[in-house]
Amino acid sequence: MARLALLSVSNKIGLIDFARSLVEEFDFELISSGGTAKALKDAGLPVMKVADYTGSPEILGGRVKTLHPRIHGGILARRDVPEDVADLEHNQIRPIDLVVVNLYPFEETIAKQGVTLPEAIEQIDIGGPAMLRAASKNFAHLTILCDPAQYEEYLQEMRRSSGEPSLEFRQKCALKGFLHTSSYDQAIAAYLSNNLTPSVPLSASGEGEVSQEYNLSGKQLQSLRYGENPHQSAAWYQTGTTPTGWAAATKLQGKELSYNNLVDLEAARRIISEFIDSPAATIIKHTNPCGVALGNTLQQAYQKAFNADSVSAFGGIVALNRPIDAGTATELTKTFLECVVAPGCDAEAQEILAAKSKVRVLILPELSSGPKETVKVIAGGFLLQASDDMVADTSKWQIVTDKKPTDDELEELLFAWKVCKHVKSNAIVVSGDRTTLGVGAGQMNRVGSVKIALEQAGEKAKGGILASDGFFPFDDSVRTAAAAGIKAIVQPGGSLRDQDSIQAANELGLVMVLTGIRHFLH
């Protein structure tokens, strides 16, 4: 008796040619349902409808088609178990040797503008996942294919093995099947949690409950040459079927992106997303900013950011919040850079950048769109937190010194505070003219970060602003800042000895502002 293949696919890419090879080259008989059966019949291929095979019509508008013992019995039967074989014979069920299934396009549907909840619900596949799981479970006796990219690989395996795919091949296909249903279910759960029942999401204020279960899955976009170091293997994964974020970015030129490039690019994206109203540029090294600046033009903003620390800028990652123009492109080509990302790039700028063909130039229109949560893996599990996306509100800041900031000084304090949020803790940022002058990052004590930032700023610190991501437990940093010429400080406050720092600022004629919010970044 000819072998039996069940085909039921939403994605019909490559279906007809594959089915023809099954029939003509390997003597398969085909059963199918719905649109798949129609497509095969229209192509002139012999196919039996599932309803004719089971003797049960499709019901509920097609919601029930393949949920039948003749289908699932044929998939789940163990050919080496006499009782299973007897059940097949008694119920006139044929064993199914190949199941080809992919699922309703749920994620593609919810990605559309204006999709309603009922429309999304109708794209939740039931029979497909049931067949996928059943066939994947019984990989010892049949093959499951859930992706058109597997068709040619299966045919090659059949040719190589005289029509009997190896157990190793079948198990690999089963794993892909389980990963597919897992990702599908996760997408549904995530959508329903936001659209079906009232829920309290993770919030930047720390209020609300974190879900008892959290699943993370992705589809591998590409293998990377290595991770942070050459001895570490690495790969890049996309969450969801529809590319978003960096997976949706357009690379205009340059070498393949590395693990470290992507980590730095995300750090650059987070900083540049803080600035919307004015042209802005940031240059990143090892996830910390070495230069951030605002300007009247994009070219000016980049020049200011570069000049803030031109030594560290060499080999840096640049993010810009406006499309690249010719003048900015010319400046970008004057030094070695690893990557440049912007929301656009005009034709003249592209031509100029092409002179530096190894520089990776990416276009990411939605620079401000980032993940709602951050995940860190630890031994035996992982940690989940809401992203630190709280927008600074100066109306809620507390001016605690006798001296008050001018409007311009308040704007400078806000600029420094926004940058400081994205510097590794303990973080100190010195700024002036909406430009970073010195950055102290990742030190074991705050005094050390203050000294590094002020030393980097040098004479430019005079009349500048200092921002700290955490409070000052003692007044020593305030006195050090005043000695360097700093005129105003912004910090969270919250220390038992806040009054010591406030008293020192009053004594030295400084402005001090407390935000009430800290921004540690570990």
**DSSP characters over 384-396:** EEE---PPP-GGG
Find, among 416, 408, 414, 469, the residue nearest to 443 by Cα.
469
> What residue spans define the domains of the chain?
3-193, 252-363, 394-514
pLDDT in tens, 52-109: 888 777 777 767 777 788 888 889 888 888 898 898 888 888 999 999 998 877 777 7
Q: What are phi and psi for residue 257, nearest 5 degrees? A: -75, 140
Band of the pLDDT at 5, cuts 50, 70, 90? Answer: very high
Looking at residue 169, its pLDDT comes to 93
- Give the per-residue SS3 of 188-253: HHHHHHHHCCCCCCCCCCCCCCCCCCCCCCCEEEEEECCCCCCCCCEEEEECCCCCCHHHHCEEEE
For 394-514, CATH number out of 3.40.50.1820, 3.40.140.20, 3.40.190.170, 3.40.50.410 equals: 3.40.140.20
Is pLDDT at 161 greater than 50 in this prediction? yes
Is pLDDT at 192 greater than 80 in this prediction? no
Looking at residue 195, its pLDDT comes to 67
Band of the pLDDT at 16, cuts 50, 70, 90? Answer: very high
Question: 289: helix, coil or strand?
Answer: strand
Handedness of CA 107, 112, 117, 119 (dihedral sign): negative
| Whether the Cβ atoms of residue 32 and residue 40 lie closer than 8 Å to each other | yes
Between strands 381-386 and 373-378, the pairing is antiparallel
State the DSSP code for 94.
P
Does residue 229 have a cis bond before it (omega within 30 degrees)? no
Tokens 């192509």 correspond to what residue? Answer: 43
> 193 is written with which tokens?
């949690």
Looking at residue 196, its pLDDT comes to 53
Is pLDDT at 474 greater than 50 in this prediction? yes
Looking at residue 194, its pLDDT comes to 67
pLDDT in tens, 424-459: 999 999 999 999 999 999 999 999 999 999 999 999
Rounded to the nearest integer, the mean pLDDT of the chain is 90
> 46 is written with which tokens?
């012999």
| Whether the Cβ atoms of residue 291 and residue 309 lie closer than 8 Å to each other | yes
Catalytic residues: 137, 286
| Whether the Cβ atoms of residue 199 and residue 191 lie closer than 8 Å to each other | no
Partner residues linked to 438 by β-bridges: 430
Find, among 169, 49, 46, the residue nearest to 98 by Cα.
169
Looking at residue 199, its pLDDT comes to 41
Question: 317: helix, coil or strand?
Answer: strand
In angstroms, how far apart are the furthest CA atoms of the chain?
97
Find, among 403, 405, 426, 427, the residue nearest to 414 by Cα.
405
How far apart are alpha carbons 181 and 215 in whole angstroms? 13
Looking at residue 211, its pLDDT comes to 59
| Whether the Cβ atoms of residue 47 and residue 31 lie closer than 8 Å to each other | yes
State percent of the chain over pLDDT 90.
Answer: 66
What homologous superfamily does CATH list for 3-193? Methylglyoxal synthase-like domain (3.40.50.1380)
133-166 per-residue burial string, b: 16 or more CB within 10 A, e: under 16: bbbbebbebbbbbbbbebbeebbebbeeeeeebe
Amino acid code (one letter) for 281: A
Q: CATH fold of 252-363, please?
A: Cytidine Deaminase; domain 2 (3.40.140)
User: If you average pLDDT over residues 316-335, what whole number do you get?
Assistant: 97
| Whether the Cβ atoms of residue 245 and residue 341 lie closer than 8 Å to each other | no
Instruction: Please spell the DSSP secondary structure of 411-453, one letter per residue.
Output: HHHHHHHHHHTTSPSS-EEEEETTEEEEEE-S-SSHHHHHHHH
CA angle (364 as vertex; 359, 368 as ends), nearest 5: 125
Amino acid code (one letter) for 232: Q
Helix (H) or strand (E) holding 282: strand 280-285
Looking at residue 210, its pLDDT comes to 57
Strand ranges across the sheet with 28-32: 48-49, 28-32, 3-8, 98-101, 143-145
State percent of the chain over pLDDT 70.
Answer: 95
In this chain, the answer to whether the domains covering 252-363 and 394-514 adopt an identical fold is yes
pLDDT in tens, 273-317: 999 999 999 999 999 999 999 999 999 999 999 999 999 999 999
Looking at residue 200, its pLDDT comes to 40
pLDDT in tens, 206-255: 445 555 667 677 778 899 999 999 999 999 988 866 788 999 999 999 99
